[in-house]
Amino acid sequence: MAFSQESKTATIAIQSFEGATTSQLIWKRFRRHPGAMAGSVVLIGLILAVLLAPLSPYDPEKSNTNERFQTPSWQHPMGTDALGRDLLTRVLYGGRISITVGLMVVAITLSLGVTMGAVAGYAGGMADSILMRITDAALSLPSLLVLILLSAILREVEIPFFQRNSVLTIALVIGLLSWMTFARLVRATFLTLRELDFVTASRCLGASPFQIVVSHILPNAIGPIIVECTLELGYAIIEESGLSFLGFGIQPPTPSWGNLLSNAQENFIRYPWLAIFPGLMIFLTIISVNYIGDGLRDAFDPYKVLQKAGEL
Amino acid sequence: MTKRLFSKQSFLGIILVLSVAVLAGCGTAQTPAATEAPQPTVEQPSVITIAIPEDPPSFNAAISDSGYDALVMNLVLLGMTAIDPEGNVFPVLAAELPTEENGGVVVDNDAWTMDVTWKMRQDITWADGTPVTADDVLFTYQAIIDPNTGFWIPGIDLVTGVDKIDDYQFVIHFSSVYPAHLTIFGNRQVVIWPKHYCKAEQGFQSWDCGREPLSSGPFILEEWVTGDHLTFVRNPKYYEAGKPAIDQVIVKIVPDATVRETMIRMGDVDMLMWATEQVAANLKNVPDVQLSISPTNRFVMRLFINLAAKGSTDPEADPHPFFADVRVRQAIRAAVDVDAIASTVWHGYAIPVWTEFFRPPYDTCDIPRPKFDPQAAMALLEEAGWVDQDGNGIRECHGCANAQEGDEFRFELLTYAEYGEPLILTQQLIGEMLKNVGIQADLSQSQGSVMWADSASNGIEQNGNFDIDLYDDGYAGTDPTDFIWQYYNSGSAEPDMGWNIGRWKNEQMDELLNQAYILDEQERQNIFCQMAELLDEELPQILLFSTLNADAYSSRLSGVQANVNSVVSWNAADWTLIK
Amino acid sequence: MAQYIVRRLAQAVVLLFLLSILFFALVNLAPGGPLAGYGQIRRMPPEQVAALKRQLGLDKPLPFQYLVWLVGNDWMKVDVDGDGLGDSLGTRQGILRGDFGNSFRSRKPVVDELNIRLPNTLYLMAVTMLVALGIAIPIGVISAIKQYSPFDIAVTTFAFAGQALPEFWLGLILILIFYVWLKNPLTGDPLLPVGGIYTIGTPFSIADRIAHLILPVAAGSLGWLAWYSRFLRSSMLDVMNQDYLRTARAKGLSQRAVMFKHGLRNALIPLVTLLALDLPYLFSGAVFIEMLFSWPGMGLFYYQAALQRDYPVLMAILIIGGISIVLSNLLADVLYAYLDPRIRYS
């Protein structure tokens, strides 16, 4: 099912080259999707907010023991935490970490997965077989269980770039267990696309496999890849928060949405806002990202959109 | 045609499989690991529930020491002695405590060996009616020292033999005078096991009676559904008449701390073992919940300072660039505002401690409380050659003892993550306080299983891979001698040979320790005070405060008393329901 | 087909073998060890620590430990008293003969504990997924049929929201609402219980079991529900636009007959394979749900074992997880071919 869906997408994506430029068409179709537009607004707002976090008058880490556990007020819109620190500031700084982890995971899974899938899909034969075996093996790992162990291992490693508990380590751990979807997706797309005439033509004209892959096939596979990227971002943020909740993710004092949630547990009954706000941020981010992904999927898949418009 | 049938079939098939799984679930959690229990004949049995986060590993607290094993063990089994909350040893299976005065303890002053003769009570039986005798004591001893299946308990390597005198008397032979000898067979971890019921060939560590015990104590195990709960019923053969007053005790496994706290608020459980400071503060204003605080504390949060350079275990060859100088250590102590930390993060329940000897009966040493004085700290640092000349707020070495000229005073402050939020916050506050005097502490956390592992398993402490380690420890029981040895003796500074992870080697301390293994309490007090002064001068560790030992319980219970020398169930026989 | 299955099974065996080596490496590479968890590790003399290591089999080189895990050591002499000479035959039979070893923590066979935990997890996860499916299928299908109606928009929004909620956060909020705030109007007790599978000390009652299931299932099934309903909607939409459906309509069959006889069945095919792929969750359980709701299952067991480095337990659960994934992948592929005649494996 997945296979045929992607091939259809790929085929029609190519056919839609006639007429206006592709990006214009895609943007037009994206705009017609109300959820995606709303999601984009929210996500951009969130990203702006976390980027502007340093503008906050409060220090996210410095304690202020006179103002502990204050309920939300004008001075502290989200209240204060156990050390008197402004929660809004910490949530914004935490957002930087969590979103960074998410983006890093996307980067890791993208590079790993696309490479694996591209080589497997285009080269075929033995390479395909081996790479798919590796992918299957990786898919056979019970992911949360292995995540816990991997995190326990890599967190203590002391080599350059991988200091204890760093953001990169957590991103790497999550990324190592989620590149497989990309690989399969890209491989399926490549399998279809490489049989098409224009590819054969390019080969006859003497283009190297690398050139063909990069200039001809990848651009047409972009659609599903981008959609998958947005989903992966959402997934990574939730995984990070889950790991931190269990104590295997980002460690304090670096705030992340996940460890803000886990620290808030102790005081949950008396000061529930300490948990409600970080959770709300995760929720808003993921739901916007998902809506954007849905909009992108429709935008890249004119078959569906034309259906909506009743033209099919 | 056929394809549709198959798709419907497969779909139904999956539903069927899942339904079977559901029905299987209905049958789960029903099969108890039961032992025969006499049913209470009271109409409405009085039941109390205790919530703990995880299954006890077994009923044998000697081999695991998680605390929860001690909880259930103290409900069903008795030792020769026990320790009350104030630190006094009292007899349980013993008829009286042996002393030098009553002839129970005989010391050979030439060979420096010791023989202790115990007389047992004659009115205590196991739940099946068999009397508890010296045979059981010998059986337990043999099981403990078995070379294949035994396990180490404190003091056992000083015991050369245990001999039976008659059914209710036995003598322990010690190869050296051992101050803590009274509690060797009766403390929070060690009890007496039944010879006729436990199977010696299964071994002390894994015998079945460690999971299905035969009771000598106030309660009998009725059912243990692992992961879920344990149920205990009153032991009608318990030797104290009229006790226990409670008919049934349920120990419930509730992994999440928030849920446990919620349950005691709602009245769904009657007791929380080891209530943390946060829980205590949260429950302070809940009318139906009381807090029992132990009169003495045990665990002291402290800064372990590595006197060797990070990654080395040799303080002479590689002295720590910052901390090898005692003035720096003194400065750090002066820079930390313990009261501020105790009153905020620990909700006022942490008590400042500045010497190892803060618990009765050895708390009479006159060590003055160190003052929180950042100015003095800065003066000490300047004197030690740490000056901030480039104005960035962090001092550099300009004439300091062990570092390179110009090196920044920047180190890693390590702690362990499993303790919870208060320790993380404490670490942060300490980092801030050090920053205020010009020291940059980079905060990081590790896990207990990594920090305390042996050197072959990359244990951080044993390998010296730290600058300053922040965590808590304290001695069990009433005798600090072994504890001090483990932490401050020169021999204990070798990797895997002890826990002198700061690598502090001091001949005077070694000498004092050698003198401390005597029975004369006056003399011991004297020696301990000399140790206290030495530690106060040299500061191999900076003690901060002791943490709460308390148990939360419902107001309908009475008689609950937290006991840092044991666990809350130490006097379970005395609990009564008042509502 | 039979040939295909046999070949896949053979590959599965090889894969599991390789996975077991990977798991063993991971478990042992995690720094620290099980001994650090012993509270009195600090009081024990070094010889005792060494003896303990020996008893747990940790003093041998790693490849040897793996071998013992695999095939046991009851066919060789084990050095029990530390003198370097073998004394008696070992007691372990190895996983190939069904012996998962003893837990470091409780010294009891891991399989005893698994026998209790696994059915608990199966029970919870089966109910969770049934509830999720039971709601997701109808609303997904109706959502597709009435595309763009208010119902569809509501369902889609709900689905997106459901996938965006972290499970543990939802669990905490549910506990706050249904256990702390809301009360049973009749008894004044909390509205729903918040721990365990059943109320201790009471006889078996379906109502009690259901009451204990409500909160964990609600927290755990929301994500599945959201995902399945989206999936089903999209699958149904794909099917609805196929040519053969239009042909059926053209042939005069009623809309209803077309939808349910032809459309629904074919929309469910991908769901079946998806379910087969999700089967492993029945075994590994949901760590967060089990933790929050005191459900003694596999996920919680694993988490606690990970903290304490209880290697035999970790290996056992990892390998069970691996087996369930490998087998369910095979099941999914076979089902897929079975159901869709267009796919044929050689």
Q: Taking Cα atoms as reference points, which of C228, C236, C269 lies closest to residue C131?
A: C228
Q: pLDDT by residue (tens digit) across A175-190?
A: 988 898 888 888 877 7
Which residues is B440 bridged to in the sheet?
B410
List, as one string, the DSSP characters of B133-168: -HHHHHHHHHHHH-TTT----TTGGGEEEEEEEETT
Residue A143's pLDDT is 81
H helix count then E strand count, chain B: 14, 23
**CB distance C346 to C4 below 8 Å:** yes
Residue in chain A nearest B445 by alpha carbon? A251
Residue B334's pLDDT is 95
Rounded average pLDDT over C144-153: 84
Residue A308's pLDDT is 46
Residue B184's pLDDT is 92
Q: Rounded to whole angstroms, how far apart are CA atoms B322 and B468?
A: 11
- From the list B258, B443, B446, which residue is nearest A266 (CB)? B258
Neighbouring C-alpha atoms within 13 Å toward the C-beta of B192? 29
CA distances from B331 to B328, B351, B413, B433 (A): 5, 21, 16, 11
Four-residue CA torsion sign, C209, C214, C219, C224: positive
Q: Taking Cα atoms as reference points, which of B229, B286, B242 lies closest to residue B56?
A: B229
Proportion of chain C above pLDDT 70, given as a percent: 87
Q: Which residues of chain C make contact with A146, given a CB cutoff of 8 A?
A: 23, 26, 318
Proportion of chain B above pLDDT 90, given as a percent: 64
A172 touches chain C (CB under 8 A): no
pLDDT band (50, 70, 90) for residue A3: very low
Q: pLDDT by residue (tens digit) across B185-244?
A: 998 889 999 999 999 988 898 899 999 999 999 999 999 998 899 999 999 999 998 889
**CB distance B102 to B117 below 8 Å:** no
**CB distance B194 to B214 below 8 Å:** yes
3-state secondary structure of B565: coil
pLDDT band (50, 70, 90) for residue A17: very low
Answer whether 0.90 is exceeded by the pTM.
no
Would you call the peptide bond into C190 cis, given omega within 30 degrees of 0 as the criterion?
Answer: no
pLDDT band (50, 70, 90) for residue B170: very high
Rounded average pLDDT over C137-158: 85
Neighbouring C-alpha atoms within 13 Å toward the C-beta of C106? 25
C265 to B268: CB separation less than 8 angstroms, yes or no: no
* Residue B326: Cβ-neighbour burial (10 angstroms; 0-12, 13-18, 19+): middle
Rounded average pLDDT over B28-44: 47
B65 touches chain C (CB under 8 A): yes
Instruction: Specify the DSSP class assigned to residue C258.
Output: I
Kindly report which listed range (B151-160, B438-447, B462-471, C228-237) carries the lowest average pLDDT score.
C228-237
Residue B126's pLDDT is 95
Helix A273-300 and helix C167-175, axial crossing angle in degrees, nearest 10 = 140
**CB distance C55 to C92 below 8 Å:** no
| A50, amino acid identity | V
Kindly report which listed range (A246-250, B99-103, C40-44) carries the lowest average pLDDT score.
C40-44
B578 touches chain C (CB under 8 A): no
Contacts 24+ apart (CB under 8 A), A70-77: A71/A271, A71/A273, A72/A273
Kindly report which listed range (A308-312, B394-398, C116-120) carries the lowest average pLDDT score.
A308-312
Residue B349's pLDDT is 93
pLDDT band (50, 70, 90) for residue B376: very high
User: Diameter of chain A by CA atoms?
Assistant: 76
Q: pLDDT by residue (tens digit) across B341-357?
A: 999 899 999 999 999 99
Which chains reach chain A with 3 or more Cβ–Cβ distances below 8 angstroms? B, C
Q: What is the number of other CB atoms lying within 10 angstroms of the CB of residue C327?
A: 18
Greater confidence (A134 vs C261) lies with A134
Q: Are strands B410-416 and B468-473 parallel, antiparallel or unpaired?
A: parallel
Residue C246's pLDDT is 66
Rounded average pLDDT over C329-346: 72
Rounded average pLDDT over C250-275: 72
C291 to B255: CB separation less than 8 angstroms, yes or no: yes
Q: Which residues of chain B make contact with C200, given a CB cutoff of 8 A?
A: 49, 228-229, 231, 250, 252
- The span from the first CA to the last CA of chain B, in angstroms, equals 71
Residues 6+ apart with CB under 8 A from A19: A25
Residue B63's pLDDT is 86
Rounded average pLDDT over C113-133: 92
B258 to A265: CB separation less than 8 angstroms, yes or no: yes
Q: pLDDT by residue (tens digit) across A285-299?
A: 999 998 888 888 777
Residue C121's pLDDT is 92
Residues 6+ apart with CB under 8 A from A220: A10, A13, A14, A189, A193
Q: Rounded to whole angstroms, how far apart are CA atoms C151 and A310?
A: 20
- From the list A238, A272, A284, which residue is nearest C166 (CB)? A238
Q: Rounded to whole angstroms, how far apart are CA atoms B404 and B406?
A: 6
* Token pair for B369: 């409380």
Query: Would the pLDDT of B141 be above 90?
Result: yes
C160 to A35: CB separation less than 8 angstroms, yes or no: yes
Q: pLDDT by residue (tens digit) across B358-371?
A: 998 898 898 999 99
Residue C256's pLDDT is 66
Query: Would the pLDDT of B37 be above 50?
Result: no
Q: Which residues of chain C make contact with B154, given a CB cutoff of 8 A?
A: 40, 43
The mean pLDDT value of chain C amounts to: 82
Q: Report CA dihedral (B225, B226, B230, B231) to the nearest 10 degrees.
A: 10
Greater confidence (A302 vs C233) lies with C233
**CB distance B522 to B253 below 8 Å:** no
Query: Would the pLDDT of A264 be above 70?
Result: yes
Rounded average pLDDT over A35-46: 90
Would you call the peptide bond into B244 cis, given omega within 30 degrees of 0 as the criterion?
Answer: yes
The position carrying tokens 């949060």 is: B301
C296 to B54: CB separation less than 8 angstroms, yes or no: no
Query: Would the pLDDT of B28 be above 50?
Result: no
A137 to C15: CB separation less than 8 angstroms, yes or no: yes
Chosen for mutation from B266, B410, B424, B463 (greatest number of chain A CBs closer than 10 Å) is B424
Instruction: Name the region of B107 (left: φ>0; alpha: ψ -120 to 50; beta: rest).
Output: beta
pLDDT band (50, 70, 90) for residue C254: low
Q: pLDDT by residue (tens digit) across A93-124?
A: 999 999 999 999 999 999 999 888 888 877 77
A276 touches chain C (CB under 8 A): yes
pLDDT band (50, 70, 90) for residue B26: very low
**CB distance A254 to A192 below 8 Å:** no
Residue B456's pLDDT is 79
Burial letters B58-73, b for 16+ CB under 10 A, else e: bbbbbbbbbbbbbbbb
Query: Would the pLDDT of A5 be above 90?
Result: no
Greater confidence (B91 vs C234) lies with B91
Neighbouring C-alpha atoms within 13 Å toward the C-beta of C189? 8
The mean pLDDT value of chain B amounts to: 88
Proportion of chain A above pLDDT 70, given as a percent: 86
Q: Taking Cα atoms as reference points, which of B28, B75, A264, B233 lies closest to residue C196?
A: B28
Which residues is B281 bridged to in the sheet?
none
Residue A295's pLDDT is 85
- From the list A35, A137, A152, which residue is nearest C19 (CB)? A137
Rounded average pLDDT over B82-102: 93
Q: Which residues of chain C make contact with B458, given a CB cutoff of 8 A?
A: 31-32
- The span from the first CA to the last CA of chain C, in angstroms, equals 7
Residues 6+ apart with CB under 8 A from B270: B48, B49, B50, B264, B553, B554, B556, B557
**CB distance B538 to B323 below 8 Å:** no
Chosen for mutation from B428, B432, B442, B470 (greatest number of chain A CBs closer than 10 Å) is B428
Q: pLDDT by residue (tens digit) across B484-542?
A: 998 999 998 988 888 899 999 999 999 999 999 988 889 999 999 999 999 999 999 99
Which residues is B551 bridged to in the sheet?
B292
Rounded average pLDDT over A234-239: 90
B432 to A270: CB separation less than 8 angstroms, yes or no: no
Q: Rounded to whole angstroms, how far apart are CA atoms B260 and B269?
A: 8
Q: Rounded to whole angstroms, how far apart are CA atoms B87 and B332?
A: 32
Residue A162's pLDDT is 55
pLDDT band (50, 70, 90) for residue A11: low
Would you call the peptide bond into B56 cis, given omega within 30 degrees of 0 as the criterion?
Answer: no
Q: Which residues of chain A make contact with C238, given a CB cutoff of 8 A?
A: 1, 5
Greater confidence (A226 vs B192) lies with B192
Which residues is B416 bridged to in the sheet?
B446
B418 to C268: CB separation less than 8 angstroms, yes or no: no
Rounded average pLDDT over B131-135: 95
- From the list C32, C46, C116, which residue is nearest B449 (CB)? C32
Q: Are strands B557-558 and B576-577 parallel, antiparallel or unpaired?
A: antiparallel
The position carrying tokens 């105790």 is: B342
Helix C311-339 and helix C110-145, axial crossing angle in degrees, nearest 10 = 40
Residue in chain B nearest C276 by alpha carbon? B14
Residue A8's pLDDT is 53
Q: Rounded to whole angstroms, how far apart are CA atoms A36 and A47?
A: 16
B5 touches chain C (CB under 8 A): no
C123 to B24: CB separation less than 8 angstroms, yes or no: yes
Q: Rounded to whole angstroms, how far apart are CA atoms A102 and B237?
A: 63
Kindly report which listed range (A247-256, B260-269, C301-310, C316-325) carries the lowest average pLDDT score.
A247-256
B256 to A265: CB separation less than 8 angstroms, yes or no: yes
Shortest Cα distance, chain B CAs vs residue C56, angstroms: 11
Query: Would the pLDDT of B472 be above 70?
Result: yes
Residue B97's pLDDT is 94
Residue in chain C nearest A270 by alpha carbon? C176
**CB distance A145 to C280 below 8 Å:** no
| A276, amino acid identity | I
The position carrying tokens 């730290």 is: B466
List the Cα angle B469/B474/B477 in 5-degree steps: 165
**CB distance B496 to B472 below 8 Å:** no
